[in-house]
Structure 1
């Protein structure tokens, strides 16, 4: 992936046709008293090598530079110059003394081959960029699908927990009604038995007072239990809300971390490209 990004960056730097003087490498020309020009190229040019004509070509400012068999040939002002390094020194060479492979091509054909190769490289870089964008889009869609599935699963679990709570409450209410009915029947029976005699009636009154006390105690206990259940439900809701907030915070941290890694990666690529240009 890193190699592909460098490849795309190099093609973008080439652009189409002849770039501006500061697009690739800086060059200056000085005419000496003996009319022997000196070309100064400050940074290494970016070459392309078309299959035809089969040698490396670069455009440095408004000048054409060829690399062939460890030598450099520069075309300027209808004249050719030769050097063993792109930094010079340069010497004039007659056109008929150029290597056969270079001599067979006119300067316009050489430029056309260079420009066509740059277009091909740019098209490949654009295709690679498009494929990278599609891959990122598919990754994002998969992530969104996973998040949707997790939310659905969490909602389903919440619904199941709510349903269980409702079922437990209904069971408790049914048990309570059964217990109350049983107590009521026992009290009625005791009341009827106590009414048969005064002693039984007196005992019934005492029992009734005792039952009232028990009833109040039960009501107080039920009130406490209801308050306790309400408090527990509130704590459960708070725990659920806290977990949801933590999950959102984790997702935000994850997105920030991914963005930070992307920025660092882009910065690293930019630094390496600048380092390469400086070298």
Structure 2
């Protein structure tokens, strides 16, 4: 009898102790989104080598783009992105994971130094330099990423680093002269 009484009380307790009907369970939904920046290039950007900074900076594009250590680094909307090719895909990079060479410079300083370097030479110098780089890369632009060692003259024993200005990759005038 006690058993039956306990079962009846237990069933009644379950029925009367229900949660209020207006309670809703919130399901946490997390949607993963890519953090690729909205960036596109019609052709490979022109780069200027900043010898005192040790990296290349894009010239004539509306993006803050750096080439350093076989990677392209893009600063966009307050975030850093990195890619093997200038067309992407871009992966987000934390500030702490940036190379120290880039991290210790502000964009204001980089832009000012790039503009100063550009003004050191006449327009004909840069037109010729960029034209040669574009011709060299024309066949490579159809591929998703560039080939070869992008930093010209690096680890090749060239004494005068000032001659190494230009776009990443390819063969420059001073390299051709040395091979003859």
TM-score calculated relative to the size of structure 2: 0.49
- Richer in helix (by share): 1
Which of these two proteins has the greater Rg computed from alpha carbons?
1
TM-score calculated relative to the size of structure 1: 0.33
